[in-house]
Structure 1
Amino acid sequence: MTTVFTNATVFTGDENSALHEAVAIRCGRVLAVGDAETVSQVAGKGAETIDMNGTLVAPGFVEAHTHMTMLGQAVDKVQLRDCANLAEITDRLQEARRRQPDAAVILGAGWMFSAIPEGSPTAEMLDEVVPDIPVVLDSNDVHSSWVNTAALEAMGITASTPNPPGGEIVRDGDGRATGFLLENAAVEHAWTYLDEIATDDDRDRFLDNAFQVYLQNGVTAASDMALNEVDLATFRRRIDRDGRLPFPVSAYWLLRPTGDAEEDLQNVQRAVEVRDQVAQGPGAEWFRIAGVKFILDGVIDACTAAMRNPYANGQIPEPIWSLESASPVAVKADADGLQLALHAIGDHASEIALDLVEQCNRVNGPKIRTPRIEHLESVTDDTITRAAALGVVASMQPVHCDPAIMDNWVEMLGDERAESGFPWHKFREAGVTIALGTDAPTAPHQTSHNLFIALTTRSALEPGTQTYHEERAFAPASALTALTQHAAEAGGFVDGIGRILPGGRANLVVLDTDPFTADSDELLNSTVLRTLVDGELAWSK
C-alpha cells in the first residue's frame, strides 16, 4: 500500500532545503517528497491519500543523548523536579511511603540543589520521614545521589569506605558519610545498589517505559549514552523477545576511570567485543554499539564540573578523567573504530576533550571520525574555534538551561561566566554541527519542551517571559535539523534516518503545530499526532 500525506508542511531534515507539500511512503520507505501534484503522480492510482490539514510532517525526532533504562526507571520514581523546598520533598516521600507500606525501598528523581538548605542534602533530612527502609534520590542532573542512613548501610558505606576515582562520598567533620554521593561515588555505590535490587522483569519494564514515552513524543531513533553490561542484557532480551526494537538505538559503552591503566584499556577491549558481537547478532539493524563514553567532569550545579577558574565558593574541582589517564584509552578506542563521546560541561573539561581528539588525530592519523562532545555548558571562544577546526559535533540540550532551573547554575559560577553559558549561537556561527537531545532523565524528555526552549530561550517548566540570553535562539529550520538530521549523523544512523529522503526509511512524525508559522506558546503545547517507524504507525493520538 502506498500512502500520500498531503496538504502538509513537510520538512525534510535539511535546514537549507525548501519546505514541501506532500510525502509518499511505500513498503516502509519514502517514495517521493515534493509538491502535491508531483508526489501524487509518483504514488500512482490507488494510493491512500491523507489530508494533513496544514500540520507539520518531519523526520522522526532523533534523541541525540539519553539514558534509556534510567529514563524508564525514572518514570516509576517519586517525581521531585517541581519541589521548591525540603518540606515539599519530604511530603512527597511520606506520601509515597504511605501508598507503599510494603515497599523495600523508596526511589526518587529530579531534586534540585536550590530546594535543599545550603544545597547540602544529608541523610538525617530523609531519616526524619523514612528511617526504616533505604531511600535513594537522583539529583536533577543525575550526577549526585542523596540517600538516607538505611541506604548507606545497605550499600555498605562506612567511615572507612574510600572515595572511588572521580567521585566523592561527602563526609562530616568526624569522617562519617553524610548521605550525599558525588559523581563516580553515585555510580559506584547508588547505581550499583539499584542494579542489584532490580530484577530482569523490572529492567524490561524500564526499557518498555522509555520506548513508549519516546514514541509518544515523536522520537524514532535514539543514542543511549552510558551502556553497561546490565543495559546490554536488557536490550538483548527485548530483541530476543520481539526480533527488533520499537526504533533503532545507537549505544555508547560507558568507560569509568578505575585508577589502573591496564584495566582501563581492558574496558575498551570489552567495548570492541560487545560491538562486534552485537553487529553479528540478531537485530543488528535495530541496535548497535557506536562508540565509548567518557565522563570527563561533573556538573556546575554541584560544583563538580572542571573549570579553569574557581566557583563562587572558591572550589576548583579536578576532572574525573585527567588528560594523562584518558589519552591512551581514547587513542585505543579511536584506533579500534569506536566513536568518542566526551561528557564535558566545564571549560577545562572541554579543553581536555579537544586535546583527546587532537591526540587521536596525531597518533592514529587522518581518517573519517565524528567525535562528539556532550553538553558544553561553559566554554571559551577558543574552544568553539578548535571544535570547528576538528570537526567535532556539539551535542547539547536546551532543556538543561530552562530559565526555571538556572538560578543555582548562575549562583555557583558567580561571575561573567554565569551569563555566557550554552552559547548555541557561537557554535552555529563557527560552523560547528549541533545535535540536540534531552539527556533524559536528567531533564524532561518531551521534545516539545526541548524545541520550545531552543526557539525562544524561555522556560517550558514555568512558562512566562523570562529568558536566558535570547540571542542564542535557533531559527525553526536550524532547530529541527539539529533534532533530526544532525542528531542522526552524530549517532551514526544511516539509511535515511533523520531525513525525509526518497529510498530512506519512513520514520516520520506528525505535529499538530507548525513551528515555522505558529506562535511560540502554541508550540509549547504542541502534540504529536502520529509517529511512524518504517512506515508503520507506532503511536497515534
Structure 2
Amino acid sequence: MFLSPPLRIDDLTLFDGWYVKERQSVVTNGSHFVWVGPTNQCSDSLSGGIARIDGRGLFACPGFIDSHLHLAGLAAALSGHDLSNVFDSDPNTFLESLKSVCKEDMQSDWLRFYSLDYFDALDAGLLNRRLVDSAIPDRPVMIRFNSGHGVLLNTLALHRLGINESTSEPPGITLERTIPHGVLSGVILEGDEILSKNMPAIPDYQLVSGFKLVNRLLNKHGFTCVVDATRTNDMERLCMTRNLVATGQISPDIVFMPGYEHIGEFRSKDLTYSSVYGGIRIGCAKIQISLSGGSIYPNSSDLRGIINHSHRQGFPVSIHAVERECISIAVDALCRSRMNGDRIEHASELDDRTLSKLAHSGVSVSTQPAFLHSYGDRYIQRSDSSKLQMLYRISSLNKLGISVGFSSDAPVTYPNALGSIYSAVTRKTFRGNVVNDDETISPMDSMRLLTNVNAVICGVGEQKGQVKAGYDADLVLMDHNPIASDIEDILEISVRLTMRRGEILYDNL
C-alpha cells in the first residue's frame, strides 16, 4: 500500500538521530516532520483526516544516507555482465564465462563485464589480454574490477582506444605490462579518463534498466539520500542525473560531487558548493590521490595547488585517499588550506600520527566498514599485523571527535545500511575472522554515523539525518530494532517502509 502524505505513525520505537525512545509518534505535513514525540501527547488535532499507521512492533530511524557511491557505475554493474562469482577459479572456468556471454549478447558492440576481483584474478593468472583474446578475439572486451579503479581489456579493445606498445602513460594512469617481456597486459589502472573519452557510451536501454535496478535497491534498503562521488563527474553527467530525477528513475535525494577538473564548467553555470540544480545539491570537488603507478599522484605540491584552486572557486574538496602515504599528504595539505566541508574519502589505513593531525584539522571522513566483511580475509592474508592495526579505525576516529560517516562505495559493495552496522560492530570477515577488534563501535554509534553524521558531512545536516520537527520527512521503518538486537541477527532485519520527504518509496508493511 502506498499512502499519500500527510501521515501520522504511532507507537514506534524511534531512533531520532541521537537517542532511542519508546512509544513515539511522528506526523508529517507532506514533506517535513511537523510533530515528533510521545504518542500519548500527540494531539488528535494534528491528525484529523490524514492517513495513519500503527507502528507497534516497528523500529523507526532517519532515512539512511550513503555518503559515497557511484550511481552510473552501479547502474552499469547491475545491468552488465557480472563476474563477481568468478573467484578462486581456474582459467578455463573464466574463459567459459566469457564465451557464454559472447554467445548470448549479440546486440552489444563492446562486451562489458563487471565486478571481477583483481587480486583473485591475479592469483589465478587471469590478468592477461591474450587469455581474453583466446575466448573473444573479434569483439572489444572491457572487464572492470570490483574496486572500480581498473579494467582488463582484450587486444581489440586496446586497439579501439588507440593504445599500443609505444603509448606513453598519462600522469596518474598505469598501463600494466607483463614480466619479463614488458608488453601490455591489457590492465589499465585509474584510466577512467581514457575510457570515458574513447569508449562508446553504454546503450540507453542498458542504462535505463540499470538505473531502475539502482533505484529499487536503494529504496528497498532505506536510503533517502546518496552522494555521487565519481571523479569524472561533469556537467554532462549532472544533466543526465537531473533527467533521471525529473523522470522519477532515481528517488533518493542526490548530492553530486563534480570532478575537480570540471569545476570550471560548474562555475560557468553559476554553480558552486551547495547550489541546487534540478533538485540536485552540488557537493565537494572530488580529487583522487593514487599509488597505483608506484609513486603518489598528484604529489604534495600539486595537491596543495589543486586544493587552493578548488577553494578559491568556492568548493571544499573531497580527497580519495586509501593508503597510509596518500592519507598523510592529504591531511598535511588540508591542514595548510582548510575550508568548511573538506573531506577524506576512505581513509582505509590510518597511522597514529595522521590520526592525530586529522583530529586537529576539522576534516571529516567517509569510510566503508562493509569492506571488512567483503575483503577482510584478503587483508589478513596480504597484510602484516602492523598494517591490520591501521585498517578502518572507526572507533579511534569517533573517540577523537572526527566526523566520520559510512558509505558503500557502490558498486564496490552494494548499499546495505544494516550490513555496514554489522561490519562496524563485529569487524568480521566473510569467513568469520576478526580484523582489529579494538576498533569496534556500538550499534547505536553505527546508526548515528549512518544518519545524523552522514547528513552533516554531506552538507545536508540542517535538513536531514534527524527525525525532528522541521526536518525533511525521511524515515525508515524496520521489523526489529538493530540497536537492541543480538548482533548476529542484524543481517536478518528487514526494511518495511522507506519514506523520503513524505513520499513513500518502498512499502512492505
Unaligned runs of 5+ in 1: 257-266, 299-303, 305-315, 362-367
Q: Deviations over 1:29-83 (max 9, x none)?
A: 1122221111355624444331223222111101100111111111012222232
**Are 1:215 and 1:538, in contact at CA under 8 Å, matched by a contact in 2?**
yes
Partner of 1:272: 267
Q: Deviations over 1:429-483 (max 9, x none)?
A: 2111111010001122222322221222124xx4x64222233222122111111
1:357 paired residue among 334, 337, 359: 334
Matched, 1:232 2:202: no
Question: Cα–Cα, structure 1 residues 469 and 428, in superposed 2: closer, same or farther, change >3 Å?
Answer: same
Q: Deviations over 1:4-31 (max 9, x none)?
A: 222321111125x756622222222112
After TM superposition, give the deviation of residue 424 of structure 1 in Å: 0.9
1:13 paired residue among 6, 17, 37: 17
Residue 480 of structure 1 aligns to a residue in which SS?
helix
Q: Distance in 2 between matches of 1:339 and 1:280?
A: 13
Residue 257 of structure 2 aligns to a residue in which SS?
strand
After TM superposition, give the deviation of residue 2 of structure 1 in Å: 4.2
Matched, 1:157 2:163: yes
Partner of 1:312: none
Q: Distance in 1 between matches of 2:422 and 2:267?
A: 38
Matched, 1:327 2:304: yes
**Are 1:170 and 1:180, in contact at CA under 8 Å, matched by a contact in 2?**
yes
**Are 2:260 and 2:310, in contact at CA under 8 Å, matched by a contact in 1?**
no
After TM superposition, give the deviation of residue 148 of structure 1 in Å: 1.6
Amino acid in the other structure paired with 2:201: I
Residue 128 of structure 1 aligns to a residue in which SS?
helix
Q: State the TM-score, normalized to the length of structure 2.
A: 0.90
Q: Deviations over 1:393-449 (max 9, x none)?
A: 1110112221x5234334444452134311111111211111101000112222232
Residue 395 of structure 1 aligns to a residue in which SS?
strand
Q: Aligned runs of 1:24-423 on 2, under 5 Å?
A: 24-41=27-44, 43-87=46-90, 88-118=93-123, 121-172=127-178, 173-183=180-190, 186-194=191-199, 196-200=200-204, 202-226=206-230, 227-239=233-245, 241=247, 246-255=251-260, 267-274=262-269, 276=271, 283=278, 286-298=279-291, 304=292, 317-361=294-338, 369-402=340-373, 404-414=374-384, 416-423=386-393
**Are 1:20 and 1:33, in contact at CA under 8 Å, matched by a contact in 2?**
no
Amino acid in the other structure paired with 1:491: C
Amino acid in the other structure paired with 1:428: N
Q: Distance in 2 between matches of 1:330 and 1:526?
A: 42
Matched, 1:447 2:417: yes
Partner of 1:424: 394
Question: Cα–Cα, structure 1 residues 155 and 373, in superposed 2: closer, same or farther, change >3 Å?
Answer: same
Matched, 1:536 2:506: no
Partner of 2:489: 522
Question: Cα–Cα, structure 1 residues 102 and 535, in superposed 2: closer, same or farther, change >3 Å?
Answer: closer
Question: Cα–Cα, structure 1 residues 320 and 24, in superposed 2: closer, same or farther, change >3 Å?
Answer: same
Amino acid in the other structure paired with 2:329: I
Q: Distance in 1 between matches of 2:478 and 2:398?
A: 26
Amino acid in the other structure paired with 2:456: E
Q: Distance in 1 between matches of 2:246 and 2:40?
A: 44
Partner of 2:437: 470
After TM superposition, give the deviation of residue 126 of structure 1 in Å: 1.7
Q: Distance in 2 between matches of 1:169 and 1:537?
A: 47
Question: Cα–Cα, structure 1 residues 10 and 240, in superposed 2: closer, same or farther, change >3 Å?
Answer: closer
Q: Distance in 2 between matches of 1:281 and 1:64?
A: 17
Amino acid in the other structure paired with 1:85: D
Question: Cα–Cα, structure 1 residues 44 and 442, in superposed 2: closer, same or farther, change >3 Å?
Answer: closer
Q: Distance in 2 between matches of 1:30 and 1:200?
A: 38
Question: Cα–Cα, structure 1 residues 412 and 322, in superposed 2: closer, same or farther, change >3 Å?
Answer: farther
**Are 2:28 and 2:35, in contact at CA under 8 Å, matched by a contact in 1?**
yes
Q: Supply the RMSD in Å over aligned alpha carbons.
A: 2.6
Q: Distance in 1 between matches of 2:151 and 2:305?
A: 30
Partner of 1:259: none
**Are 2:256 and 2:280, in contact at CA under 8 Å, matched by a contact in 1?**
yes
Question: Cα–Cα, structure 1 residues 349 and 117, in superposed 2: closer, same or farther, change >3 Å?
Answer: closer
Partner of 1:484: 451
Moved more, 501-510 or 124-133: 124-133
Q: Deviations over 1:320-355 (max 9, x none)?
A: 211111212211211222121011111111111112
Amino acid in the other structure paired with 1:534: R
Q: Distance in 2 between matches of 1:275 and 1:253?
A: 14
Partner of 1:313: none
Moved more, 22-31 or 38-47: 38-47
Amino acid in the other structure paired with 1:164: P
Question: Cα–Cα, structure 1 residues 281 and 342, in superposed 2: closer, same or farther, change >3 Å?
Answer: closer
Question: Cα–Cα, structure 1 residues 27 and 372, in superposed 2: closer, same or farther, change >3 Å?
Answer: same
Q: Deviations over 1:371-406 (max 9, x none)?
A: 11011111111111111111111110112221x523
Amino acid in the other structure paired with 1:505: D
Q: Distance in 1 between matches of 2:62 and 2:439?
A: 24
Residue 414 of structure 2 aligns to a residue in which SS?
coil
Q: Distance in 1 between matches of 2:370 and 2:119?
A: 17
Q: State the TM-score, normalized to the length of structure 1.
A: 0.85
Q: Deviations over 1:68-102 (max 9, x none)?
A: 11111110122222322243433432332232244
Q: Distance in 1 between matches of 2:28 and 2:246?
A: 29
Question: Cα–Cα, structure 1 residues 240 and 181, in superposed 2: closer, same or farther, change >3 Å?
Answer: same
Question: Cα–Cα, structure 1 residues 80 and 165, in superposed 2: closer, same or farther, change >3 Å?
Answer: same
**Are 1:268 and 1:332, in contact at CA under 8 Å, matched by a contact in 2?**
no
Residue 4 of structure 1 aligns to a residue in which SS?
strand
Q: Distance in 1 between matches of 2:76 and 2:434?
A: 31
Instruction: Report sequence identity in percent.
Output: 19
Question: Cα–Cα, structure 1 residues 279 and 423, in superposed 2: closer, same or farther, change >3 Å?
Answer: closer
After TM superposition, give the deviation of residue 241 of structure 1 in Å: 4.3
Question: Cα–Cα, structure 1 residues 140 and 392, in superposed 2: closer, same or farther, change >3 Å?
Answer: same
Residue 21 of structure 1 aligns to a residue in which SS?
strand
Unaligned runs of 5+ in 2: none
After TM superposition, give the deviation of residue 107 of structure 1 in Å: 1.7
